[in-house]
Copies of this chain bind each other. A is one copy, B any other.
Amino acid sequence: MISVVLIGTGNVATHLFETFLAYDTINVVQVVGRSKESLSKFASKTATASLSGILKKADVYCLAVTDEAIPKLVASLKCVEGLIVHTSGTVPLSALTELAHTGVFYPLQTFTKNTPLNFRAIPICLEVKDPKDFKPLKFIAETISDRVYEITSEKRKKLHLAAVFANNFTNHLYGIASDICEESNVSFDILKPLIQETAFKINLLSPTDAQTGPARRNDIQTMQTHLDQLASKEQQQLYKLLSESIQKKYLNQE
């Protein structure tokens, strides 16, 4: 049995809390948050405290807060004896350097309120300052997930950058597709199976081998027809730049 104090009450904290609750071997002894209101949903299930309150003794203190809040919390954690980890993709481990036992517990996923997630499939990237601290962190990670990786701060930063392309930018392209459908009075639902299949395909083929479409075929005529159909300068610019990028990638491969 490992004891955890969870600091934070947002999406990541809530998902972690619910997941930890499901396992007998992880005991969340306290949730710490800014306001009584934000703590209310945890209060019936464990002890809670404000940020200025007294922290309970625990094996691991898990900071599930915004990147900006991490350095501000460091001072208040100096007297803590356990392992202190943050859950950020971008903040280096060195941000916790003033503390004795530190690490990173970064679940690489997009967390949405009220949307249940299967944590077993979520990759968790771990890092510790002192190798001796790896064991408890790995225990927690492997209890809740089947995909646990040890990743340095430098690599985690790159992974987070890659995730911006694979998640944030991809979702924005879904948004543009949805806008085009709406402008033409076509239901965006028609595109949803294609979107699922595109994402599923990378489990079978590399994105390089899976690429299709007019830019891949260097089909200048279709690309020009598409450009003429796009309503905004911005959509046209994106279409051009993405197409050029695809053309350039495959030009050298033919």
Q: Chain A: residues with CB nearer than 8 A to chain B?
A: 67, 90, 108-110, 112, 115, 117, 121-123, 125, 147, 149, 151, 154-155, 157-159, 161-178, 180-181, 183-188, 190-208, 210-216, 222, 225-226, 229-230, 234, 237-239, 241-242, 245-246, 248-249
B198 touches A199 (CB 8 A): yes
Known contacts A112-B210, A155-B184, A184-B155; is A177 also within 8 Å of B165 by CB?
Answer: yes
Please list the 8 inter-chain residue pairs (A to B) with the smallest Cβ-Cβ separation, ordered nearest first. Answer: A168-B213, A199-B199, A175-B207, A158-B184, A166-B177, A174-B207, A162-B180, A162-B177
B168 touches A212 (CB 8 A): yes
CB nearest to A174 among chain B residues:
B207
Q: How far is the CA of A180 from the CA of B113 in the complex (A)?
A: 29
Question: Of B158, B201, B229, which one neighbours A158 at CB under 8 angstroms?
Answer: B229
Q: Is B164 in contact with A208, judged by CB distance below 8 angstroms?
A: no
User: In the complex, what's the smallest C-beta–C-beta distance from A203 to chain B, in angstroms?
Assistant: 6
Main secondary structure of the interface of A (DSSP, over half): helix
Contacts of A242 in B (CB 8 A): 169, 172, 238
Known: A108-B193, A238-B242. 8 other contacts (CB 8 A): A110-B198, A110-B212, A115-B205, A123-B190, A151-B186, A170-B199, A172-B245, A178-B207
The answer to whether A183 touches B158 (Cβ under 8 A) is yes
A123 is contacted by which of B164, B193, B248 (Cβ under 8 Å)? Answer: B193
With beta carbons under 8 angstroms apart, the residue of B115, B168, B181, B248 that contacts A215 is B168
A201 to B11, CA, bound (A): 15
Instruction: Report Cα–Cα, A193/B159, bound state, in Å.
Output: 13
Contact of B155 with A185 in the complex, beta carbons under 8 Å = yes
